[in-house]
Amino acid sequence: MESLSSIRNRQKQQVKNNGEIPQYYVEGHHEAIIDADTFERVQREMEKRKGMDKKYGGVNPFSAKIKCGDCGGWYGSKVWHSNSKYRKVIFQCNHKFKNDCKCSTPHLTEEEIKQIFLKALQVAIVEKEELIENIKLMKEMVCEISEYKEEEKLLIEELNIIEEEIEKIIAENSRVALDQTMYQQKYDELEENYERVRVEYVKVTEKIRMAKKQEEQFKSFIEILEKADDTITEFDEEMWLGLVDFVTIKNKEDILVSLKGGMQIAV
Ligand SMILES: [Zn+2]
């Protein structure tokens, strides 16, 4: 049975990681396809988006998808001329008129966003094979959970052992007259250990959960892209949500579409 301290040492040897996915890049491995920059960028974005799904999910397919090239904030929707027949919904940087920061990035209509997506989709279809290869590789790197599963198993074993020890000294204390100071000290120690291992366990299960979620996203990306061909001329929400991570707007001539899995397409 591996001791607590040796488990902890092993964890320290791994690259520091407080996030949900392994933060490593296999150098020299497939580097022609995914470079370290792309990989790191994707990791950063995933980190940033952690916990955002609930907040924005299901509201509007364009919410938290358009990023201001000036301040890095998200575009939000705004209704113009709400009481007239000229009513229209536009998207603009949420920080635009806040504080002193007046971003110079333009507003966009829903139709413009759809056109941006369709243009990017055309490029993605041409690069389809390579994109799918990239995503498969990314999936392999990010969603590999066997190590986490092993860790999880060890931690559960460890928790069971500590629990047994706690029960044992409690039982012993009720049977024999133990030195109560020493008993309390031993008890506190065990409880502290238990809590420490439990925290590790929660972290590992969270990593497993995130990796599985990520895997689903990558799978759906591949499925959608495999179906896509150049006959698509109309905006499709499922494609938009499944393929696009976000779009960065600098100005109307400088637009970058970031796909899930890291590829960027200038539109
Ligand atoms: Zn802005």
**Full-prediction pTM beyond 0.85?**
no
Say how many Å lie between the CA of residue 225 and the centre of ligand 1.
31
Cα of 104 vs centre of ligand 1, distance in Å, is: 7
Which residues have C-beta within 8 Å of that of residue 183, sequence separation ≥ 6?
169, 173
**What is the distance, to the nearest Å, from the Cα of residue 119 to the centroid of all Cα atoms in its chain?**
26
Q: Which amino acid does the sequence have at 98? A: K
For 193-217, the pLDDT digits (tens) are 999 999 999 999 999 999 998 899 8
Measure 241 CA to ligand 1 centroid, in angstroms.
Answer: 22
- pLDDT at res. 12: 39
What is the whole-number distance in angstroms between the Cα of residue 60 and the centre of ligand 1? 19
For residues 80 and 63, give the distance between their C-alpha atoms in angstroms, rounded to a whole number: 17
Classify residue 197 as exposed, middle or buried by CB count within 10 Å of its CB (0-12, 13-18, 19+).
buried
Cα distance between residue 63 and residue 265, in whole Å: 20
77-103 per-position pLDDT tens digit: 888 888 888 888 899 998 876 666 678
Residues of the chain below pLDDT 70: 1-39, 41-59, 97-101
Q: Identify whether the C-beta of residue 106 lies closer than 8 Å to the C-beta of residue 249.
A: yes
| 100 CA to centre of ligand 1 in angstroms | 11
Coil vs helix vs strand at 79: strand
Residue 147, both tokens: 């190590």
Q: How far is the CA of 106 from the centre of ligand 1 (A)?
A: 9
Of 131, 92, 125, the residue nearest 236 (C-alpha): 125
Q: DSSP for 149-214?
A: HHHHHHHHHHHHHHHHHHHHHHHHHHHS---HHHHHHHHHHHHHHHHHHHHHHHHHHHHHHHHHHH
* Residue-level pLDDT at 32: 38
> What confidence score (pLDDT) does residue 59 get?
65
In this structure, which residues have their CB less than 5 angstroms from ion ligand 1? Answer: 68, 70-71, 73, 93, 95, 103
- Residues 256 and 127: their CA atoms lie apart, in Å, by 16
Distance 72 CA to ligand 1 centre (A): 6
